Structure 1
Amino acid sequence: MASSSSTLSHSSGEIHLFVGPMFAGKTTSLLRRIKSEVDTGRNVVMLKSSKDTRYAIDSVVSHDGVKFPCWALPDLMSFKEKYGHEAYQKLDVIGIDEAQFFEDLYDFCCKAADVDGKIVVVAGLDGDYLRRSFGSVLHIIPLADTVTKLTARCELCGKRAFFTLRKKIEETQTELIGGADLYMPVCRNHYKNSQVVMEAARSVLDLKKL
């Protein structure tokens, strides 16, 4: 009878997740982890959504300007074929930034870690501007080895900020890509108070449209 270890065709993978509001340092944490993997000699690749063109098309860039070359993709499951099967086999670590924009995030992470034995490091928003689940980021928590919830600093009072506030009240779609021009991190009290003000302003705008 074969031992259980001999039935494993390769080393098991890992999934590490960084979540939080905008400006919490998710991309910075991801880049720090990826660069440390490079320093240890591991084969690394970085992926991001092709929807995100704010700072660069072919690089993952943090808000403070740190960057790392990447593949910009409309989906994740096509990456293996585009990268090349032989090159993919040699990969040790896969970084994924702005993960909320990938609808196939769960399937990709599951296959990359469980089947292909890759270390997958993911960064993404856990909630949208209405504090609702954003994309599939929260779906991979049950798959993850570690989950790190990061916080920012509230722009209005300086306390720890857990939420993202959208500045433009007339924009109501979930996916509205932007930076400090559109969003700010806020604490719970300022999120609640700002939401009341914005809802009132939105009602006035709606009435003007009638």
Structure 2
Amino acid sequence: MDSAALFRSSIQGEVHVIIGPMFAGKTTALLRRIQSERNNGRSVAMVKSSKDTRYGLDSVVTHDGNKMPCFAASTLSNFRSEIGHEAYSKLDVIGIDEGQFFEDLYDFCCYAADHDRKTIIIAGLDGDYMRRSFGSVLDVIPLADSVTKLTARCELCGRRAFFTFRKSAETQTELIGGADVYMPVCRQHYVNGQLVTDTASIISECRKS
């Protein structure tokens, strides 16, 4: 075995998870980590869900406009074939943005880190607008070498915001949008805001009946 092959065989995979509500800087933190890996001479690639078309499909873009080229995929299981097996084998680090949109996130991370010895860095929402587990992001935590929980600033009072409040009346879990649809809020304003939304919904249903 040559020295390069011996070095690669000694490398272990890693999984790092960045979670938090919307507008907490998760994508910014992810891009910073990926750029740092690239600056250290490692081969990197970014992946995002093809469901997220807000800023086009060829880039991961933060809310303040920073961006990095990426691959858009419907599932992570297709990523290897889409990038090409040879290109995939040369990758050291894979960044995954909006991880909650990938149903096969756990299986991909498990195989890529344990078998393929890749470093996987995931950014995603830990909870939906109802504060319930969103997608498979929380399932990956038992695999993780590190978990970073970020917070935003409550749009109503400026305190630390842990939750994402949906301004609209839509009830589906996956509703892709930005500041026009969502805002980060503290616990107090989440509870108060949810009460207002629930009351308005009940009144609306009563008027229809």
* Aligned position for 1:15: 15
Per-residue deviation, 1:10: 5.1
Preserved CA contact (<8 Å) 1:100 1:136: yes
- When the two structures are superposed, what TM-score results if normalisation uses the length of structure 1? 0.94
The amino acid across from 1:19 in the alignment is I
Q: CA deviation digits over 1:42-73, x for unaligned, max 9?
A: 10000000000112211000001000000011
1:78 partnered with 2:75: no
* Aligned position for 1:157: 157
* Aligned position for 2:183: 184
User: For residues 1-210 of structure 1, what are the structure 2 equivalents within 5 Å?
Assistant: 9=9, 11-168=11-168, 170-210=169-209
Root mean square deviation, CA, Å: 1.2
Distance 1:75 1:208 in 2: 42
SS in 2 for 1:19: strand
Distance 1:90 1:10 in 2: 15
Distance change in 2, residues 1:9/1:35 (3 Å): closer
Deviates more, 1:121-130 or 1:73-82: 73-82
Length, aligned pairs only: 203
Distance 1:56 1:78 in 2: 19
Unaligned runs of 5+ in 2: 1-5
SS in 2 for 1:78: helix
Unaligned runs of 5+ in 1: 1-5
* Aligned position for 2:3: none
Deviates more, 1:118-127 or 1:35-44: 35-44
Per-residue deviation, 1:188: 0.3
The amino acid across from 2:202 in the alignment is S
Distance 2:201 2:10 in 1: 55
Distance 2:70 2:114 in 1: 23
Per-residue deviation, 1:101: 0.3
Q: CA deviation digits over 1:151-178, x for unaligned, max 9?
A: 000000000000000001x200000000
Distance 1:192 1:55 in 2: 31
- When the two structures are superposed, what TM-score results if normalisation uses the length of structure 2? 0.95
The amino acid across from 1:111 in the alignment is Y
Per-residue deviation, 1:11: 1.8
Q: Which runs of 4+ in 1 moved over 6 A?
A: none
